[in-house]
């Protein structure tokens, strides 16, 4: 595709004004400076757009909705008391770009930011955890930070477009949503970490002896024309390998005849 999908991060903070934010970023010495309406990483030259807004009464509930893992924490209470909201916007579409955006948000957390909500995925993280994720990017933590799994009749990932990769979809076996989510977590991490060249019809299994799935090209979920969740790279649907299931049911003598 000709244009990378946009990656947007929301950081509520204690800053009473844009000038106070600029000063806080300068004082925390995280290696970033303001350049007009851009945040510039001095070492690499990476830039992303900065939008500063006043307090937004809808932000606390939005953070709770997509950050249930820290909804009852003191850090979430701090979000409710935010004085302003900063949005960072930049290109996604590759691991390098996504990690650069994460580091930029970490600089704002260092400057007093109260958490980070990934607008292009739908997940929010507390400030300490975000800092930890960014300190361990070499351990592939961006995948954990920017990808979620949605359960329903199908289970599907959201956020892989931040890395320029397809989503993954599977229909749960026997209605086991957790098993399906774990399968997709392993599969999407494989895509992120290994960068395999997959083709329609290839097979995938999480380990030797585990169920085998046939990988089929499929359209990604459609969230509407303006949604940051949309993945222009499509999706992989994982379908159980029917032949394998039939052989297991038939017994070892059936397998020997093939």
Number of helices (H), then strands (E), in the chain? 9, 13
pLDDT at 254 over 60: no
Q: Residues 154, 181: contact at Cβ < 8 Å?
A: no
* Each residue's pLDDT tens digit, 115-146: 999 999 999 999 999 999 999 999 999 999 99
Predicted confidence at residue 256, as pLDDT, reads 34
At 160, is the pLDDT very low, low, confident or very high (cuts 50, 70, 90)? Answer: very high
- Residue in the structure block whose two tokens are 């924490």: 73
DSSP, residue by residue, 7-24? EEEEEEES-SSHHHHHHH
**Interval 32-80: pLDDT, tens:** 998 889 999 999 999 999 999 999 999 999 999 999 999 999 999 999 9
Between CA 59 and CA 158 the distance in angstroms is: 21
The predicted structure's pLDDT at residue 79 = 98
The model carries a pTM of 0.91
Q: What's the pLDDT band for 242 if we cut at 50, 70, 90?
A: low
Q: What is the pLDDT of residue 4?
A: 87
Of 101, 121, 119, the C-alpha closest to 109 is: 101
Reduced to 3 states (helix: H, G, I; strand: E, B; else coil), residue 32 is: strand
State the alpha helices, DSSP H only, in 85-176. 95-110, 127-135, 141-146
- Picking from 35-39, 85-89, 123-127, 169-173, which range would have the lowest pLDDT averaged per residue? 35-39
pLDDT in tens, 174-225: 889 999 999 999 999 999 999 999 999 999 999 988 899 999 999 999 999 9
pLDDT of residue 115: 98
């Amino acid at each position: 595709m000709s244009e990378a999908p946009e990656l947007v991060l929301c950081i509520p903070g204690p800053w009473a004004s844009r000038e106070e934010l600029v000063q806080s970023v300068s004082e925390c010495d995280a290696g970033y400076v303001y350049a007009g309406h851009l945040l510039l990483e001095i070492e690499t030259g990476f830039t992303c757009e900065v939008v500063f807004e006043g307090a937004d009464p809808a932000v606390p509930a939005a953070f709770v909705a997509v950050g249930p893992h820290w909804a009852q924490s003191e850090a979430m209470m701090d979000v409710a008391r935010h004085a302003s909201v900063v949005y960072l916007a930049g290109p996604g579409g590759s691991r390098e770009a996504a990690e650069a955006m994460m580091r930029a948000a970490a600089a704002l957390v260092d400057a007093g930011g109260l958490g980070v909500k990934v607008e292009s995925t739908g997940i929010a993280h507390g400030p300490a955890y975000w800092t930890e994720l960014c300190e361990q990017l070499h351990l592939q933590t961006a995948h954990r930070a920017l990808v979620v799994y949605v359960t329903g009749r199908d289970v599907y990932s959201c956020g892989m477009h931040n890395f320029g990769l397809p989503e993954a979809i599977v229909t749960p076996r026997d209605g086991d949503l957790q098993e399906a989510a774990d399968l997709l977590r392993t599969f999407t991490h494989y895509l992120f970490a290994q960068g395999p060249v997959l083709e329609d019809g290839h097979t995938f299994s999480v380990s030797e002896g585990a169920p085998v799935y046939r990988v089929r090209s499929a359209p990604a979920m459609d969230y509407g024309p303006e949604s940051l969740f949309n993945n222009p790279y499509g999706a992989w649907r994982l379908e159980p390998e029917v032949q394998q299931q039939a052989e297991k049911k038939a017994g070892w003598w059936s397998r020997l005849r093939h």
